[in-house]
Structure 1
C-alpha cells in the first residue's frame, strides 16, 4: 500500500514477500520510502525482505530505508551487505547499501517502472513446485510426499540412484536462506544428468534422498527462520512433534527407515562473507577417525573449487557440548553419519568475489556440482 498520493506503490503480498510501509515521501527534489521488515509469525525473528515498487519514473532516484534493521535477528550481518535488486526477477544484481544507526539504506535510479528488491535472490514456492515437477518426471527419479507442513503444504522427497551408501541432502530449514534451494536445484540437475559419467558412477555407489525444502510454510509466508508456528526447525531434531515440527518428524522418520551414511544440511549465513562447513564436534560418540572424514571432505572441496574455503567458519563445540537438537549433530550421533552443515553467504564469497552479483543463485548451483564431484571422489571412504 502507499501512504501518500504518490504514484509509487510498494507491495509484498505475494509468494515469499515481506515488508511493511511506514511512509512514502515523493517530493519534487527526491523520493524516500521508509519501510519495516515484518517478524515471523509467532516469533521475534526477522531479517528476510522481498517486495516490489511500482510506478517509478524513468531516471527517478528512490531511496529506501529499512528502519528496524538494527532490531533484526542478526544485525551484525548488515555491515558490508548489499541489497539484491531486479527488474525482471531473473537477474538479481547487488546495489550499494549503507547501514548506520540501525537503518539499512540504498538508492535505486529507476530504469523501469517496476523494480523488485530482496535480501537475496528469492526462491519461491512456485519455483519449488516447478522444480519438483521437472525433476520428478526424469528417468530414475522416485517422488514421494513424506508428510505435510502445519499449513498443509507437501514435504517433497526425491530419491535417485541405487547404490548402497545412503546420502541425504536437505535444505531450507530456515526459509529466508533462499540460496539453499538454488543449491538444491543445482544438485538435482546434476544428479539427473544421464550423460554425466561422474553422476553415473556416484549413483551406482549411492542412493540420494533429497528434500529440497524443509519449510514450505515459512517460505511462502516470507519468514526468516521459522515455520507457521514460529518454530525453528533446526532445533527440533531431538524430539520433533506433529504439533510443532511435523516437517522434521516426517523427514527424520524417513531417515530412520533408510539409514544415513552422509548428510548435507544446506543453509545461509548472514555475517561471514564466505562458504564454509560446520561439523559435529562435541557429540557424545565423537572419535577422531569419524571426524577426520568430515575434515577430509572439506579439504578436498577447497582444493576442488575456488568457491569454498576452510579458514573462516563457526567455533567448534567443546567435547560433549554438541547441541543434539540440531540436525547435523543429531544425524552424526544417531547414525554415525558423516554429517555437515553447508553455510553460504548473503554477502559474497570474498576469496573469489563477484562485484556485480555477489554470491548468487547460479553460483549456489555450481557449488552443489562441486560438492557432488568431491563426494564422488571419496564415497567409498565414507
Structure 2
C-alpha cells in the first residue's frame, strides 16, 4: 500500500490521490503564512520496483513557473545521497517519473539542509576553537538566531559578513556556508590563516530557521519575505533581520555576502549594488576585482548571465545587499546558485547539489582574500 508523508523537518506536499502509482496526484503546498509555493519534500513508501508517476497539478501556480523548465527533481533513499530523477513540465503540470528501488524513498525540490544539520554545523564550528557562537535573539516561533564570530575581533580588523538562507527553501545557501566555514576554520589552510590575521568574520548560516523547519520556500513563520525587510524590520514580523541589522550597526561592515539560490537561471552569478545612492567608482572597481577573483577561484562561477543591473538610484533598499552596501558604503553582493544544473559545467546525475555548493563556499575564501587589502 502506497503512503506519502511529509511530517518531518522541511517536509511539504499536499496529496490529492494515491490510489494508482502510475497516476499519483499531488499539489505543491504554499508557505505557512503566504502565497509563495515551489518547495516540496516528501517520503514515498511501499512503491519498490513500481513505476511511479507523480503529478504536481498546480505547478503553474508556483512562485516561479519558469523554474520548472529543464528542471529535474532530486531523490534519495538515505537522505545522504541525492540524485536527479526524470522530471518534465507540460501544460502547467510538473511530473516526476521514477521507479524506486526500495520501499522508502524521498523526493525534494533541492537537496535539503535540516535543522539538525544546522545545529551540527554550529557545534562543529565552535569545536574548532576559532569560533564563538552568539545568540542575537529569537525567531517568531522562538528558535535561536545564531551568529558565528571568527577572528580576533579587534578594531583594526576588517569586518566581513556572510548571511545565508533568508529564503529557507534555498538550501544550497547553507551548504555553501558549510564549505566556507570548513576552509576558513582549517588551521592548515594558508589562505584562511592569512585572512584571519586581518579580518573578523560574522556568519549567520541560517537567517530563517522557522521557515526552514516549516518547509517554506521564501518566508518566515509570520509570512515575511526577509529579503524585503531590511529598511524597516520589526521584532514582531521580522526579528531575524532586526537583530542581525542591530549587530551590524554595532560592529560595522567592510564586505557583505548574502547567499541565495535562483529558481530560473541555470548559472552561478552575483548581483551588486549599482543602483544604491552611495554607489561610486571605488565600489565599481571593487566589484570588478571581486568577480575576477571568483572567476579564477571557481570555474562554476560566471559573469555573463544574471539579473539586470539597477539604474542609478533605483535599487530596492528593502533588500539586504542594497541596504547594507548603501548604509556602510561597502562592497556587497548577493550570490545566486541554481536549483537546476549549472549549464557551464553540467552534471546529468546530480545537477547542482549540496556538494557543489559546498565547494563554491570553499572557493569563496580565495576570492575574499584577493580583495581583502582593498576593502578599506
Normalised by the length of structure 1, the TM-score is 0.96
User: Distance in 2 between the 1:328 and 1:66 partners?
Assistant: 34
Contact persistence 1:299–1:310 (CA under 8 A): no
How far does residue 191 in structure 1 lie from its aligned partner after superposition?
1.4
CA distances 1:103-128 after superposition (whole Å, capped 9, x unpaired): 10011112111000000000011111
Determine helix, strand or coil for the equivalent of 2:121.
Answer: helix
Runs ≥4 in structure 1, deviation > 4 angstroms?
A: none
Query: In the alignment, which residue of structure 1 is the partner of 2:14?
Result: 20
Alignment of 1:233-248 (within 5 A): 233-248=226-241
Query: In the alignment, which residue of structure 1 is the partner of 2:171?
Result: 178
Contact persistence 1:34–1:65 (CA under 8 A): yes
User: Distance in 1 between the 2:306 and 2:182 partners?
Assistant: 28
Q: 1:204 aligns with which of 193, 197, 201?
A: 197
CA distances 1:54-105 after superposition (whole Å, capped 9, x unpaired): 1123x21111111111100000111101000111111111112100111100
1:52 is the counterpart of 2:78:
no
Query: In the alignment, which residue of structure 1 is the partner of 2:34?
Result: 43
Contact persistence 1:171–1:265 (CA under 8 A): yes
Query: In the alignment, which residue of structure 2 is the partner of 1:134?
Result: 124
User: Distance in 2 between the 1:138 and 1:303 partners?
Assistant: 28
After alignment, is 348-357 or 269-278 more displaced? 348-357
How far does residue 31 in structure 1 lie from its aligned partner after superposition?
2.5
Alignment of 1:321-360 (within 5 A): 321-360=314-353
Determine helix, strand or coil for the equivalent of 1:255.
Answer: helix
Q: 2:24 aligns with which of 13, 16, 33?
A: 33
Normalised by the length of structure 2, the TM-score is 0.97
User: Distance in 1 between the 2:82 and 2:88 partners?
Assistant: 18
Query: In the alignment, which residue of structure 1 is the partner of 2:63?
Result: 73
Query: In the alignment, which residue of structure 1 is the partner of 2:3?
Result: 9
How far does residue 286 in structure 1 lie from its aligned partner after superposition?
1.2
Query: In the alignment, which residue of structure 2 is the partner of 1:274?
Result: 267
Determine helix, strand or coil for the equivalent of 1:330.
Answer: helix
After alignment, is 287-296 or 219-228 more displaced? 287-296
How many correspondences in the alignment?
372
Contact persistence 2:293–2:366 (CA under 8 A): no
Determine helix, strand or coil for the equivalent of 1:223.
Answer: coil
Alignment of 1:57-136 (within 5 A): 57=48, 59-136=49-126
CA distances 1:288-328 after superposition (whole Å, capped 9, x unpaired): 22122012211221132211000000001111101000010
Report the RMSD for the aligned CA atoms in angstroms. 1.0
- Unpaired segments ≥5 residues, structure 1: 1-6
Determine helix, strand or coil for the equivalent of 2:296.
Answer: helix
User: Distance in 2 between the 1:338 and 1:248 partners?
Assistant: 19
Query: In the alignment, which residue of structure 2 is the partner of 1:4?
Result: none
How far does residue 32 in structure 1 lie from its aligned partner after superposition?
2.0
Determine helix, strand or coil for the equivalent of 1:169.
Answer: strand
User: Distance in 2 between the 1:133 and 1:304 partners?
Assistant: 28
Contact persistence 1:183–1:368 (CA under 8 A): yes
